[in-house]
Amino acid sequence: MLDLLKEPVLAVQEFLALAGKAFRNILRRPHYWDDVFLQMDLIGVGSLAISAFVGFFGGVVMAMQMSRALAQYGQVGKTGTLVSLTLARELGPVLTALMAAGRNASGIASELGSMKVTEQIDAMRALGTDPVQKLVTPRLIATSTMLPVLTVIADFVGMFGGFIIAYFLLDLSPKMYWTTVWQALAWSDIFFGGVLKPLIFGMTIALIGCFYGLRAAGGTQGVGRATTQAMVTASMLIFVWDALITKISLWWAALAGA
């Protein structure tokens, strides 16, 4: 039994050590800003189309489903309220993070894994460059910065998708729809759903991708294995973090209401 637990515990220890070093390097020199901006472009701009696509059809589906449920109670005019709350609190940050995990966590793992198996990282150490400072920290900063931006864009595009359904299929006026959308949102929704969740999701995606990439071994098969593990682990942790942050937000709302 202890032998079975030894490897997972060791992996957790290595991950925490990597995460601590990456966060500590944010405040240490040198700062590889060129790498940070390059990763922002690859992660942020590169994921913009798929995030907007997922957000738009998420809003479309939510509007169709919610309007059907609300029609039973004669409250179709509340469609914008449910669409905005669902997107801002859950669908927007989670779907965007899952798309980023599938695209970026796996991409980071494959990139660093290829560098690991071809001994580029060992050569970097031999030249006196810290691989965590050069490779991990820029990706951590870039992903943590760009994922909240992608989430806000996905939320807005999703609300616009809901508006398309509300206007053309439900005969709701633009004023009624957008008024209910805006009035439904509270600052806590914007903070927890638009800032805190994507920020933590971004940190998780970057660190998991780097962790499995730096642990890759066994040639091209090892790189493929690391890529799959990074995507699966990041996706699972996104749901775990989502549950925890949702519980905190509900506790905060209850405290504020009291």
Domain boundaries, the chain: 34-251
Burial of 145 (0-12, 13-18, 19+ CB in 10 A): middle
Are 193 and 88 in contact by the 8 Å Cβ rule? The answer is: yes
Centroid of chain to Cα 172: 33
Give residues with Cβ within 8 angstroms of 187, minimum separation 6. none
Tens place of pLDDT per residue across the chain (258 aa):
666 777 788 888 888 898 898 889 888 888 888 888 998 998 888 888 999 999 999 999 988 988 888 888 878 878 888 889 888 888 889 999 999 888 888 888 988 888 888 888 888 888 878 888 888 899 999 999 999 999 999 999 999 999 999 888 888 888 888 988 888 888 888 888 888 899 999 999 999 999 998 888 777 788 888 888 899 999 999 999 999 998 888 888 777 764
What does the alpha-carbon distance between residue 122 and residue 74 come to, in Å, rounded to a whole number? 66
Question: What's the CA angle centered on 147, arms 143 and 150, to 5 degrees?
Answer: 140
Nearest to 174 by CA among 182, 184, 166, 186: 166
Nearest to 94 by CA among 186, 248, 204, 214: 204
